[in-house]
């Protein structure tokens, strides 16, 4: 164990990677199956089930819902979270730690509890549309992410540059939008991508907040799996994996998102 | 650092989380302790009087504990190898460990359905090699749920251990060996004590992640192998039993917080 890597440790690393990434290979192979039902290895290959995906109305509708909920709750979480991150990094005040703890609660409390609580005590109690519950539930879940990532970005920015702007005659608000925000736009964008992915993949919070007519893509996929045993979910999963790889690689190149995970 | 914080920066987020998160969740949890409007533990005794429920709770703890243990045993050597990989490859490896965390858990869990299903890879292999004559049930077993959860949560252990090992000074290991420690002694007496914080963080993340996962037990365990989360869903959507669901919610929270605190104490 001097400077070299011990052979058994290396074996374990390879094993761990095979275990972590093997399932993706399986999904890719199964996604291009042309068989009637799911079998592995497939007997024939083709784009049959990828094409089929685009004919299923439930997938299309829920995909649009997922995009809208993801975009809406990401924007809302940034609007709520960026001011908090700014206040936490630029001011010293009593109760700072308490505020930090309260705002990390949504990461700790299981999503299924949040979903049920919102359904039972808001949507049903006040006869609100389910979509509201979905948007609110996702937004509260995403606020901790935006606060954390934007805070990390602000920590790398000297706080005297906004003071300098104020000294030169800008208001605090102008200083924020003209000096601070342009300097942390990488962090804000990384927060947005991370938040969007989190919302887009989210199941437990959405579980009770979807109903007939309103459903997100992951919920629709789970419902489809209960009744059908064809390779279409493998095809859809393949597309989702590729979509995520492209998105993550793109943001990693631009912003280095791995710093914030 | 200025002393007076403009509260309007904090207020919107605090109101949002307070009104739409803290209050509803507290109200739901409070429901578990109220029987016909009176404080009491009736819902808890009723819940645990059903043998199935205690069984589900125990199964959840067992699978989560085992997944935490196995991920630690696998990830320690793997992470030790990873921190020694030279830079260009190192970045690629990190990306490969992080990437699964970004991908939809449904996509990740579905691979196990493909592998373990009746016409899946495992059955094809077993029947083809003559180990068994007919395809057997591998899906909807505790083993399937365990594998799925392990695969889902392992990156968290891996990343925690890698960041702990990165901070381990290389000369400490050299010193231990110069002083005559063998590999095992170096690990248990030097590496483990100096990186236990990473192990605790990783362990907490994996255990909590397993206890609170919904997709994996739903897809790989089904109604046959229920865990707390899938039982909660069933209580609401099949039985319409909100008090039982609140009891499970309390159990989920208490369990995750208790394990969190216990592991923190071990680290001290």
pLDDT tens sequence across B143-155: 999 999 999 999 9
B105 lies in a domain?
no
Look at residue A1 in the predicted model and tell me its pLDDT: 41
- Within an 8 Å CB–CB cutoff, is residue B223 touching chain A? no
- Within an 8 Å CB–CB cutoff, is residue B258 touching chain A? no
- Within an 8 Å CB–CB cutoff, is residue A116 touching chain B? yes
- pTM score of the predicted model: 0.90
Q: Which helix (H) or strand (E) holds B73?
A: helix B51-82
Compare CB distances from B13 to A81, A137, A172 and report the shortest one's residue.
A81
Encode pLDDT of B4-27 as tens digits.
Answer: 778 889 999 999 999 999 999 999
Is B95 in contact with A258 (Cβ distance < 8 A)?
yes
B31 lies in a domain?
no
Q: Residue A14 — pLDDT band, cuts 50, 70, 90?
A: very high
Look at residue A124 in the predicted model and tell me its pLDDT: 82
Q: B97 to chain A: which residues are within 8 Å by CB? A: 17, 20
- CA nearest to B157, candidates B185, B119, B189, B198: B198
Encode pLDDT of A58-114 as tens digits.
Answer: 999 999 999 999 999 999 999 999 999 999 988 888 888 999 889 988 888 999 999
Q: Residue B161 — pLDDT band, cuts 50, 70, 90?
A: very high
Look at residue A256 in the predicted model and tell me its pLDDT: 62
Per the CB < 8 A criterion, the answer to whether B104 and A244 are in contact is: yes
Look at residue B2 in the predicted model and tell me its pLDDT: 52
Interface of A with B in 194-233 (CB under 8 A): 197, 200-201, 203-204, 207-208, 218, 221-222, 225, 233
ipTM surpasses 0.85: yes
Instruction: Give Cα separations from B267 to B167, B185, B198 (angstroms).
Output: 17, 20, 10
Written as six digits, the tokens of A244 are 């995520």
Look at residue A4 in the predicted model and tell me its pLDDT: 60
Stretch A128-157: mean pLDDT: 91
- Within an 8 Å CB–CB cutoff, is residue A126 touching chain B? no
- Within an 8 Å CB–CB cutoff, is residue B176 touching chain A? no
Look at residue A259 in the predicted model and tell me its pLDDT: 59
B169 lies in a domain?
yes
Higher model confidence: residue A224 or residue B136? A224
Written as six digits, the tokens of B2 are 């200025």
B229 lies in a domain?
yes
Q: What's the number of domains chain B is made of?
A: 1
One-letter-per-residue 3-state SS of A112-170: HHHHHHHHHHHHCCCCCCHHHHHHHHHHHHHHHHHHHHHHHHHHCCCCHHHHHHHHCCC
Domain residues for the domain of B217 are 42-100+140-267
B74 lies in a domain?
yes
Residue showing tokens 């010193």: B175
Is A4 in contact with B84 (Cβ distance < 8 A)?
yes
B5 lies in a domain?
no
| Residues making up chain B, counted from first to last | 268
Q: Residue A2 — pLDDT band, cuts 50, 70, 90?
A: very low
Is A4 in contact with B97 (Cβ distance < 8 A)?
no
Encode pLDDT of A143-198 as tens digits.
Answer: 999 999 999 999 888 878 888 888 898 888 888 898 899 989 888 998 999 999 99
Locate the chain A residue with the closest alpha carbon to B108: A23
Is B17 in contact with A197 (Cβ distance < 8 A)?
no
Stretch B255-266: mean pLDDT: 87
Compare CB distances from B3 to A13, A27, A92 and report the shortest one's residue.
A92
Look at residue B171 in the predicted model and tell me its pLDDT: 85
Q: A252 to chain B: which residues are within 8 Å by CB? A: 95
Per the CB < 8 A criterion, the answer to whether B148 and B183 are in contact is: no
Locate the chain B residue with the closest alpha carbon to A6: B81
Judge whether residue B90 has pLDDT over 60.
yes
Look at residue B127 in the predicted model and tell me its pLDDT: 84
Look at residue B3 in the predicted model and tell me its pLDDT: 55
Judge whether residue A3 has pLDDT over 70.
no
Look at residue B165 in the predicted model and tell me its pLDDT: 93
Residue B214 is given by DSSP the state -
Written as six digits, the tokens of B61 are 């703890």
Domains and CATH numbers, chain A: 55-259 (1.10.3720.10)
Question: What is the rounded average pLDDT for all residues in chain A?
Answer: 88
Identify which of A36-40, B44-48, B134-138 has the greatest average pLDDT: B44-48
Per the CB < 8 A criterion, the answer to whether A100 and B10 are in contact is: no
Q: What is the DSSP string of chain A?
A: --SSPPHHHHHHHHHHHHHHHHHHHHHHHHHTB--SS--SS-SSB-SHHHHHHTT-HHHHHHHHHHHHHHHHHHHHHHHHHHHHHHHHHHB--TTHHHHHHHHHHHHHS-HHHHHHHHIIIIITTTT--HHHHHHHHHHHHHHHHHHHHHHHHHHTS-THHHHHHHHTT--HHHHIIIIIHHHTHHHHHHHHHHHHHHHHH--TTTTTS-BTTB--HHHHHHHHHHH--STHHHHHHHHHHHHHHHHHHHHHHHH-GGGT-
Look at residue A257 in the predicted model and tell me its pLDDT: 55
Q: Residue A261 — pLDDT band, cuts 50, 70, 90?
A: low
Q: What's B160's domain CATH number?
A: 1.10.3720.10
Point out which residues pair with B2 in neighbouring strands.
A91
Encode pLDDT of B174-193 as tens digits.
Answer: 888 888 888 888 888 888 88
Residue showing tokens 């970045």: B91
B85 lies in a domain?
yes
Look at residue B119 in the predicted model and tell me its pLDDT: 78
Look at residue A219 in the predicted model and tell me its pLDDT: 94
Stretch A111-140: mean pLDDT: 89
Beta carbons within 8 Å of A234's beta carbon, 6+ residues apart = A27, A30, A31, A33, A38, A49, B110, B114
């Amino acid at each position: 164990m001097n400077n070299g890597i011990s052979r058994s440790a290396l074996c374990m690393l390879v094993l761990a990677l095979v275990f972590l990434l093997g399932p993706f290979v399986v999904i890719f192979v199964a996604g291009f199956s042309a068989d009637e039902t799911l079998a592995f290895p497939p007997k024939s290959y083709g784009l049959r089930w990828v094409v089929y995906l685009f004919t299923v109305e439930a997938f299309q509708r829920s995909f649009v819902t997922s995009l809208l909920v993801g975009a809406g709750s990401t924007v809302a979480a940034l609007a709520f979270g960026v001011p908090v991150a700014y206040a936490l990094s630029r001011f010293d005040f009593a109760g700072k730690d308490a505020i930090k703890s309260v705002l990390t609660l949504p990461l700790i409390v299981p999503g299924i509890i949040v979903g049920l609580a919102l359904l039972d005590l808001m949507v049903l109690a006040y006869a609100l549309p389910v979509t509201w519950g979905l948007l609110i539930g996702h937004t509260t879940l995403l606020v901790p992410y935006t606060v954390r990532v934007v805070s990390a970005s602000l920590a790398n920015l000297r706080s005297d540059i906004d003071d300098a702007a104020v000294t030169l005659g800008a208001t605090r608000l102008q200083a924020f939008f003209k000096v601070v925000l342009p300097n942390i736009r990488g962090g804000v964008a990384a927060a947005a991508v991370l938040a969007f992915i989190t919302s887009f993949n989210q199941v437990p919070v959405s579980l009770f907040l979807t109903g007939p007519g309103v459903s997100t893509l992951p919920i629709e996929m789970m419902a489809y799996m209960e009744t059908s045993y064809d390779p279409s979910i493998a095809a859809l999963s393949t597309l989702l994996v590729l979509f995520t790889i492209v998105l993550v690689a793109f943001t990693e190149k631009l912003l280095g998102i791995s710093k914030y995970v | 650092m200025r002393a007076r914080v403009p509260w309007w920066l904090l207020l919107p987020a605090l109101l949002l989380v307070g009104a739409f998160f803290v209050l509803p969740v507290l109200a739901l949890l409070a429901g578990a302790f109220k029987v016909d409007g009176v404080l009491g533990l009736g819902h808890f005794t009723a819940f645990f009087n059903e043998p199935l429920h205690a069984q589900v709770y125990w199964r959840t703890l067992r699978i989560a504990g085992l997944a935490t243990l196995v991920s630690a045993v696998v990830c320690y050597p793997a992470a030790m190898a990873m921190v020694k990989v030279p830079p260009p490859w190192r970045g690629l490896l990190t990306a490969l460990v992080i990437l699964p965390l970004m991908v939809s858990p449904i996509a990740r869990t579905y691979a196990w359905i493909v592998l373990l299903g009746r016409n899946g890879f495992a059955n094809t292999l077993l029947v083809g090699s003559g180990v068994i004559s007919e395809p057997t049930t591998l899906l909807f077993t505790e083993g399937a749920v365990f594998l799925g959860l392990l695969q889902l949560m392992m990156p968290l252990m891996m990343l925690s251990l890698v960041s702990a090992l990165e901070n381990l000074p290389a000369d400490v290991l050299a010193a231990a060996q110069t002083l005559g420690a063998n590999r095992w002694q170096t690990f248990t007496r030097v590496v483990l004590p100096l990186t236990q914080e990473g192990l605790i963080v990783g362990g907490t993340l994996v255990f909590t992640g397993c206890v609170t996962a919904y997709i994996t037990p739903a897809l790989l365990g089904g109604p046959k192998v229920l865990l707390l989360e899938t039982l909660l869903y069933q209580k609401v959507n099949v039985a319409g039993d909100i008090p039982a669901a609140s009891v499970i919610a309390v159990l989920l929270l208490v369990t995750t917080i208790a394990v969190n605190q216990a592991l923190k104490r071990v680290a001290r």
